[in-house]
Amino acid sequence: MRDHRHFRYEAIARQIVDHIEAGLYRAGDRLPSVRKLQETHDVSATTAMRVLVELEQEGWAEARSRSGFYVLRRDPLRSADAPAATKTASAPSLANVNTLIRRIFKAHGTAEAARRILPLGAAEIDEELLPHKELAAAVARTLRTGSARVLAYGDGSGDLQLRRRRAQLLGGRGLTLIPDDIVVTAGETDALGLALMAITRPGDTVAVESPCFFGILQWIEALGLRAVEIATDPVTGIDLDELERVADELPVTALALNPTFHNPFGFAMPTDRMMRLLAIAEQRRLPVIEDDVYGELHYGNRSRKPLKSFDSEGWVLHCSSFSKTLAPGFRIGWCVPGRFAEAFERARAPRTAGVPTLTQNALAHYLEGRAYRRHLDGLRHLFASQAERVRSLVLDRFPEGTRITDPEGGFVFWVEVPPPFDALGFHEAALDEGISTAPGPIFSASGCFRNAFRLSVGRRLTADVEHGICRLGEIARRAAVSS
């Protein structure tokens, strides 16, 4: 990967960010014009323009039609109904979530039975929202052009065309890669597991966000690791002071986090905090696993750069997949293991044959054109446009004092309900009425968050779904009354 710091425009942008952080520019101030930047820094108009676009893309500024670029307020919007920041766990613990998760997901029973349930639990995207015709056409094309080849063992690191196209697409988010930087995996789950295997040994301690995606806890449990949960703010992300303090006190081997459209909180970690996080990682030589699976699902026009795009030293193992946007059932993900490429290869060694050829080739075909971009635009628009309605339904129908996150991307919401509320009992009562939810405790190695649940709305907010959310509110109220 190229070191982005070598670009002149980025150095200038960085300097302006320093000025914003130092208070020299304030929210609403107009930034220097292209001409002014040309003069001040002795650069071309193109470079000056790139400085401003960079500042816009990183969320420091916004373009106003015909009048230039203006500084945005520094802190992301914090709505009054958002949950408070969580606390740091007192000690690392062996994760113990698999039994609970199995119980919860087994409740769905067969795929048949699951189809009769309104699935607001698992973070799944509705089949109806996936481009199945285009993907079927891509599969058909793959079969026409190489039906014999797709039956053979593929390249262990993944289909070259797919990696090339993936690299191009990530380039649009500020991450400059060549195909060899990318290893294709069997979904993101596989990437996360291999990343953990590459950088830890059984008994090691991994720092995670609190709450965090339960999949990482499942791996921590399966690999015999310990998790230490770090306080996390539902708007700005993991508490970096706490992270430093914990890393001083405990032998933390790795950090795993989900900075962009966090599951379950929905925030995008601000750029300045990403930079500080990387400084901490570099200083302590701490590998960082970045889960970026929702990273392309930003609301609004501004795309978000992944943590990996600022990682000039290679400490980040960037993991993601196509499961939240395109084809969960294809099980295709990837890892950009950075400086841990050798260790990642060692962990992956037994799987010399890699992942299936057919689905990789079909995805590569599909990604060739502009269809993916159009499809993503459609998803973003849908999820952004219905988020406010989900929030207001929850705030209307759940007990007084209920809080809900205000996501900046993705399609999950974290709901905290005041006592008496028990997420596990609530889950079972809701399931009895044909609605699944994801109870808070599966997002914690130490069993926290019995007062909360995750609501996933990876589907159109139809009358049925709205009705389902209202029913959940009634169940929560009933519990409050009956206790």
Applying CB under 8 A, the residues found at the interface with its own copies are 98, 101-102, 105, 110-111, 122, 124, 127-128, 130, 132-133, 135-136, 139-140, 143, 147-156, 160, 186-187, 189-190, 192-193, 197, 201-202, 215, 218-219, 221-222, 224, 323, 326-331, 345-347, 349-359
Decide whether 63 or 143 has the Cβ nearer to its own copies.
143
Q: What is the DSSP string of 326-387?
A: T-GGG--EEEE-GGGHHHHHHHHTT-TT-S-HHHHHHHHHHHHSSHHHHHHHHHHHHHHHHH
Residue 296's closest CA among 209, 169, 124?
169
Q: State the nearest-atom distance from the C-beta of 13 to its own copies, in Å.
A: 38
Q: How far apart are CA 314 and CA 317, in angstroms?
A: 8
Q: How far apart are CA 137 and CA 351, in angstroms?
A: 29
Decide whether 156 or 399 has the Cβ nearer to its own copies.
156
Given a contact cutoff of 8 angstroms between Cβ atoms, the answer to whether 307 and 279 are in contact is no
Q: State the nearest-atom distance from the C-beta of 114 to its own copies, in Å.
A: 9
Q: Find the helix packing angle between 271-284 and 8-21, rounded to 10°.
A: 110
3-state secondary structure of 71: strand
Q: State the nearest-atom distance from the C-beta of 213 to its own copies, in Å.
A: 11
Q: State the nearest-atom distance from the C-beta of 469 to its own copies, in Å.
A: 22
Q: How far apart are CA 457 and CA 264, in angstroms?
A: 12
Decide whether 83 or 215 has the Cβ nearer to its own copies.
215
What 8-state DSSP symbol labels residue 4? G
Given a contact cutoff of 8 angstroms between Cβ atoms, the answer to whether 414 and 211 are in contact is yes
**In this structure, how many other beta carbons lie within 10 angstroms of the beta carbon of residue 454?**
28
Q: How far apart are CA 427 and CA 433, in angstroms?
A: 10
Q: State the nearest-atom distance from the C-beta of 371 to its own copies, in Å.
A: 14
Decide whether 126 or 396 has the Cβ nearer to its own copies.
126
Alpha helices in 107-213 (DSSP H): 111-114, 132-146, 160-171, 187-199
What 8-state DSSP symbol labels residue 30? B
Decide whether 203 or 419 has the Cβ nearer to its own copies.
203
Q: How far apart are CA 271 and CA 56, in angstroms?
A: 12
Decide whether 329 or 401 has the Cβ nearer to its own copies.
329
Q: State the nearest-atom distance from the C-beta of 383 to its own copies, in Å.
A: 18
Decide whether 17 or 347 has the Cβ nearer to its own copies.
347
Encoded amino acid at 13, one letter = A
Q: State the nearest-atom distance from the C-beta of 367 to its own copies, in Å.
A: 15
Decide whether 57 or 456 has the Cβ nearer to its own copies.
456
Q: State the nearest-atom distance from the C-beta of 186 to its own copies, in Å.
A: 5
Q: Give just the sign of the alpha carbon dihedral 378, 258, 271, 457.
A: positive
3-state secondary structure of 462: coil
Tokens 């262990």 belong to 156
Q: State the nearest-atom distance from the C-beta of 36 to its own copies, in Å.
A: 50
Decide whether 124 or 428 has the Cβ nearer to its own copies.
124
